[in-house]
Amino acid sequence: MKPVENHLIELLPRKDRLRLLGLCESVKLVLADVLCEPGKPTRYVYFPTDGFISLVAQIEGSPGVEVGMVGREGMLGAQLALGVVTAPLHALVQGPGAAWRISTRAFRSELEGSPALRRGLNRYLYVLMAQLAESAACLRFHQIGPRLARWLLMSQDRSHSSSFEVTQEFLAYMLGVRRVGITAAAGVLQRSGLIKYSRGELTVLDRPGLEAAACGCYAADQKAYADLLG
């Protein structure tokens, strides 16, 4: 069986792909590890192969809210394609797994020598910008239940499993709401037979039903990625 890879790397021509992988090292993504902080230099670029990373906007006086998610479809450190080393967001591992990691210096050098890599990252930057904008609008206008359904779908897509561990405290943090709101919304999804949630383990039981319960932001995210990156 072909090992699970990172989609952005898979899209590269074979020569560019092998050269990039030759500069990378395989690392573990450990749950809750912080990979970069806003305003600080980016030391490494990460291409997840499984597991996934939350992008969190932090506001003074609040714990922050998730505005994006990176799994095997993307990368952490995309701002380097713009010539910017400073990280814009707080990034922490939401789902444990593995990733290809390359130093910022080596990656910037590879960008200069690989037009295919630059083209791919430019397209991914557009997709990431669309995701960030969608998340901001979703946070402002959509209710907790549809937002929770969207978050669960995004997490399932990147975990490659129908079951994953997540606490209500973490869900409240990611969605920027009180825990009582998460309890109520998760209860509705569970009573509807869409999910099963017990002792921190969540299982998606009815994927089509969960998609129907999610806000339109999930489908918009999927379309933006498919249109540009397949």
pLDDT tens digits along 80-92: 999 999 999 999 9
79-111 as b/e: b if 16+ CB within 10 A: bbbeeeeebbbbbbbbbbbbbbbbeeeebbebb
N residues, the chain: 230
Compute CA 78 distance to the chain's CA centroid, rounded to the nearest angstrom: 12
Would you place residue 63 in the very low, low, confident or very high pLDDT band (cuts 50, 70, 90)?
confident
The answer to whether the CB of 46 falls within 8 A of the CB of 35 is yes
pLDDT tens string 179-216: 999 999 999 999 999 999 988 899 999 999 999 999 99
pLDDT for residue 1: 36
CATH topology of domain 7-138: Jelly Rolls (2.60.120)
Q: Under CATH, which number does the domain 143-214 receive?
A: 1.10.10.10
Residue span(s) of the chain under CATH 2.60.120.10 come to: 7-138
pLDDT at 173 over 80: yes
pLDDT for residue 223: 93
pLDDT tens string 90-122: 999 999 999 999 999 999 999 999 999 999 999
The answer to whether the CB of 99 falls within 8 A of the CB of 47 is yes
pLDDT at 2 over 60: no
Residue span(s) of the chain under CATH 1.10.10.10 come to: 143-214
The answer to whether the CB of 41 falls within 8 A of the CB of 109 is no
How far apart (Å, rounded) are the C-alpha atoms in residues 101 and 38? Answer: 19
Q: Considering Cα of 169, then 147, then 211, then 34, what sign does the dihedral take?
A: negative
How far apart (Å, rounded) are the C-alpha atoms in residues 10 and 114? Answer: 14
pLDDT at 134 over 60: yes
